[in-house]
Structure 1
Amino acid sequence: MPRRKAGATQATQNADDEEENFGAAEMDLDDDEEEAPARRKKGTASRKSGTTAATGLSSDDIDKKARDLCRLALFTEYRRTVLKREDINKKVMGGNTKAFPEVLAKANKRLKAALGYEIVELMSRADREKTLLGGMEEDEEPKKKVSAKQYIVRSTLDPELILLASTVDEHIQTQEEEDAADPEATVSGCILAWQTHDQIPAYGILCVILSLILVNGKTIPDPSLRSQLKKLRLTSTSIIEVGSVNAPKRSTLEQYLTLAIKQGYLDRVNIGNAAGARTGATKRGRGGNNAVRADGEEGAVDIEWRWGERAHAEISEQGISDFVVAFMTDQSRPAGNVAESERAKKERREKVRKQLNTDILKAAQAPLTKIGREDDA
């Protein structure tokens, strides 16, 4: 599956574990105060004298607000809700909003060092609609990026590191079997025990839905999506496991789709409204031909599914493309199922991989978005 917040899911098996882990996180975030109180007290006068004219805050003030922002962001992310800029201004910044960029940078430095997280701004609806159109047209004037003023916490762990941590190790597996209280307990044999993480079955379904949307031109009519899911034996009343192993929960597919919308992974758009009509009809011709009418409990409405802001920030279109390519490449077989050498298998899979990348890009009808990071700038 594409990278998600491996660190986040790893730390949120249940509410009790989360509180315990967060308590440890607070200790890490506050290590400066605990390790060197004398040094901090000694340097207070000099730091206060170093107050910047732009923000009016000392280094101590910036550090304190950065720690407050870390706590607020982590508590907000645990509920899988977005952190709004107005809440940051009210609960962290007070009246000094000019210092926010500096506070955010300091908070991200702490989060990355202690937990492997970062606070990122979500893509605005205007920018998400622009991704459907493949960016700006040649004759279009460059416009200032629209700020969503909404933030989430995501993992900064490298995909290769996650892959290595998810690989079964014989020594780890043996140790887990010896330490297991229940002889019949399932052990992972790897550092990241995915089978105990939250919402793994539901996340797999989410990746499939995001894949279907991507290869359908980044939007898919509601009837088409449900028709594709039905082929996978997923109907509106299908039961999905959405909880963790320690706190299992079950919901129907319809309920999970509603939850995915609420969390920002999916966007359900009525294309009969002004925004939907403008996006489809004027640029890519989605308005008339693809606007299939869905006769459901709500009546006859024109609905299509798109990616939500959290999916762009956590997973990215390129991440889902890599997921599809990896899955399809692993499923590929030589013509006639003839035996082949390892070299021939590698060459065949590389050829399949290149063709799939080309086909997905063509099906998406626009360049794929990627996860951008401050370190990459």
Structure 2
Amino acid sequence: MDEDDYESRGSSQKSNGKRGAPSSSQSHSSGSQKRVMRDIDDDSDQDDHAPKTIRATTVGSKVLDILPEDFERFVKDTVRLAIFSSHSEAATVKRDDIKALLGTHTRLYDSVFEKAQERLRKVFGMEMAELTTKGRSGKNEEKGTKTYILRSTLPLDLLGSESLDWEDQLEDQGLLMVILSLIMVREGVIFESHLKQHFRRLMLMEEGSDIDKKMDMFLKKRYIEKSKLEYLDESGEKIEMEVRWGARARAEIPEENVVRFIEEIFGPEAPKTLRASIEKASNIRTKTTDSNDADAAEASNGTPCGSSSNAIRL
């Protein structure tokens, strides 16, 4: 091989690059295959995430970014908490307790609460009602407390039937209705000493009576509230305990039910102006005159006193 042949062969190798390197057409084809493979991989990743979008939970007109089974678990936990709390000493559940169940999903509170209410009404005949607080005069606007109790939503005909066995609760219900009636006809407040005077007239303060224990139970369960009042009279300074309807009574028992209870205590010999007198003494207006006939017809059908869609639960 002469020197000219060696140089020409070397220059040829330099122009072609490394031995075995692909041509420009081969490189283009390989690049296309890699891009196709990447597109296929990207599609497979999207498919893995697609079910989460398709199975998003819908509550009313809202679409929530949570799986249906997770949302259902939150609803069941809320219903369970409400029912278990109703058997506790306070018989209440707080909004923060419900939010604690949701963990990092507290933004779902309204939707979960709405669905839990629907489940409670449909399955258990109950609902969560928010307790309120009122000013000492009893006439101030009520404010929410972010605390709930369970109250009944059962229809009147079922409450008055033999389907429900109230067992020993009837005695406590009757006593509570008497107490609430006496408070209501005093414009919403009565001295505890005056209340006990009525108990003596009704022979509820006899020896061996547990009326004080019953009052403590109503107080603990928030059917009544007590507050201290200091005032001056002719004999000097006096301290009295005032008794009012409690937050739970305001949530569970409509004033109209108490008016009916008083009317049924008087019976058929009640004066025609009894309802008007009760409403005046209570500073309330429960019914229009046009609906009084309907109330009388309902009472004559055997509706139990004090019963309503909001039954007393002691």
So what's the TM-score if we normalise by structure 2? Answer: 0.65
| Shift, 1:314, TM fit | 1.4
Give the 5 Å matches for 1:106-185: 106-126=115-135, 129=136, 132-133=138-139, 146-163=143-160, 165=161
Give the 5 Å matches for 1:1-377: 46-48=54-56, 56-79=65-88, 81-90=91-100, 92-126=101-135, 129=136, 132-133=138-139, 146-163=143-160, 165=161, 190-194=162-166, 197-235=167-205, 238-239=208-209, 252-272=210-230, 301-328=239-266, 330-332=267-269, 352=272, 355-367=273-285
Assess if the C-alpha contact under 8 Å between 2:125 and 2:153 holds in 1: yes
Partner SS state of residue 306, structure 1: strand
For 1:264 and 1:236, the matched residues in 2 are separated by: 25
- C-alpha offsets along residues 238-296 of structure 1, whole Å, 9 cap, x if unaligned? 43xxxxxxxxxxxx211111111110101011134xxxxxxxxxxxxxx778xx98xxx
Residue number in structure 2 paired with 1:9: none
When residues 59 and 367 of structure 1 are mapped into structure 2, their CA distance, relative to the original with a 3 A threshold, is farther
For 1:102 and 1:366, the matched residues in 2 are separated by: 36
- C-alpha offsets along residues 64-115 of structure 1, whole Å, 9 cap, x if unaligned? 211101101101102252111222222x222333322211111111112212
Aligned residues: 237
Assess if the C-alpha contact under 8 Å between 2:56 and 2:64 holds in 1: no
* Structure whose alpha-carbon radius of gyration is higher: 2
- C-alpha offsets along residues 154-212 of structure 1, whole Å, 9 cap, x if unaligned? 1101223322x1xxxxxxxxxxxxxxxxxxxxxxxx32234xx2422122111100100
Identity of aligned residues (%): 27
Assess if the C-alpha contact under 8 Å between 1:44 and 1:60 holds in 2: no
Gaps of 5+ in 2: 1-50, 288-307
For 2:252 and 2:218, the matched residues in 1 are separated by: 13
- C-alpha offsets along residues 320-372 of structure 1, whole Å, 9 cap, x if unaligned? 112112332x2517xxxxxxxxxxxxxxxxx73xx222111100124459x99
Residue number in structure 2 paired with 1:141: none
For 1:367 and 1:267, the matched residues in 2 are separated by: 23
Amino acid at match of 1:260: F
- C-alpha offsets along residues 121-156 of structure 1, whole Å, 9 cap, x if unaligned? 112234xx57x32x66xxxxxxxx632111011110
> Which has more strand, going by share of residues?
2
Partner SS state of residue 56, structure 2: helix
For 2:152 and 2:69, the matched residues in 1 are separated by: 27
Assess if the C-alpha contact under 8 Å between 2:56 and 2:65 holds in 1: no
Gaps of 5+ in 1: 1-42, 137-144, 166-189, 240-251, 273-286, 294-299, 334-350
Assess if the C-alpha contact under 8 Å between 2:57 and 2:65 holds in 1: no
Quote the RMSD (CA, aligned, Å): 3.3
